[in-house]
């Protein structure tokens, strides 16, 4: 990683909602003009690697571009979106349930994808909670009920009963249904 990239990452870490949008300087000669030789999307789809060549000195360098996603908390404070924080919150609801760390990581990824699909750079923590509820219900209904009870501030047994009635009224089909006439043989 070049010095300029290290500097930009430090700035982004201190000011997560700031977005660097100035010209890309060559890390070797500081010239502002470069041309993109190659662009590739990172494996997780959240960043783009660009191979560039300086128009002045001819040297090549790589830039990494990511779209910042920030969460506005109830207090009004803003912090960067964190998959780890989503997984940690859901992990508490999944205590004692047959849910693996890989399943939690996938859920956190699904939540981030759902939020990024809105196209907003900043989202309320309320929207993050709503984005968690759907995938969590598909993963484990007991964990969903636990999470929903805290997230929606259930105050009485009637709140739990109403949510359980809604779960029964609109059951989710199993994620991997095994039907005898599906034409697929199990090995």
- pLDDT tens digit string along 98-137? 999 999 999 999 999 899 888 888 999 989 998 999 999 9
| Residue 171 clears pLDDT 80, i.e. is over it | no
Confidence of residue 7 (pLDDT cuts 50, 70, 90): very low
pLDDT digits (tens, 9 = 90+) for 66-100: 778 899 998 999 999 999 999 999 999 999 999 99
Measured CA to CA, the distance from residue 22 to residue 137 in angstroms comes to 43
Residues 26-67: pLDDT tens digits?
Answer: 999 999 999 999 998 876 666 789 999 999 999 999 998 877
Q: Work out the pLDDT band at 178, boundaries 50, 70, 90.
A: very low
> How much is the pLDDT for 21?
58
- What local confidence, expressed as pLDDT, does residue 145 receive? 92
The pLDDT of residue 180:
41
Predicted local distance difference test score (pLDDT) of residue 2: 46
Q: Does residue 179 have a pLDDT over 50?
A: no
More confident residue, 2 or 24: 24
Which of 21 and 29 is assigned the larger pLDDT? 29
Which band of pLDDT confidence, cut at 50, 70 and 90, is reported for residue 176? Answer: very low
Task: Output the pLDDT for position 151.
Answer: 84
The pLDDT of residue 150? 87
- As a whole number, mean pLDDT of residues 179-186 equals 43
């Amino acid at each position: 990683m070049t010095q300029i990239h290290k500097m930009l990452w430090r700035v982004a870490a201190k000011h997560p909602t700031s977005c660097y949008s100035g010209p890309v300087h060559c890390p070797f000669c500081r010239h502002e003009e470069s041309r993109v030789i190659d662009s590739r999307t990172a494996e997780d789809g959240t960043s783009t690697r660009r191979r560039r060549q300086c128009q002045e000195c001819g040297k090549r360098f790589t830039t990494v571009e990511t779209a910042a996603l920030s969460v506005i908390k109830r207090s009004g404070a803003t912090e960067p979106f964190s998959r780890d924080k989503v997984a940690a919150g859901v992990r508490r609801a999944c205590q004692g349930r047959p849910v693996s760390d890989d399943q939690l990581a996938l859920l956190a990824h699904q939540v981030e994808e759902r939020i990024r699909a809105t196209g907003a750079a900043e989202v309320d923590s309320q929207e993050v909670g709503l984005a968690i509820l759907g995938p969590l219900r598909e993963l484990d209904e007991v964990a969903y009920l636990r999470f929903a009870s805290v997230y929606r501030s259930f105050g009485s047994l009637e709140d739990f009963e109403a949510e359980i009635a809604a779960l029964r009224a609109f059951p989710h089909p199993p994620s991997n249904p095994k039907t005898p006439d599906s034409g697929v043989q199990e090995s």
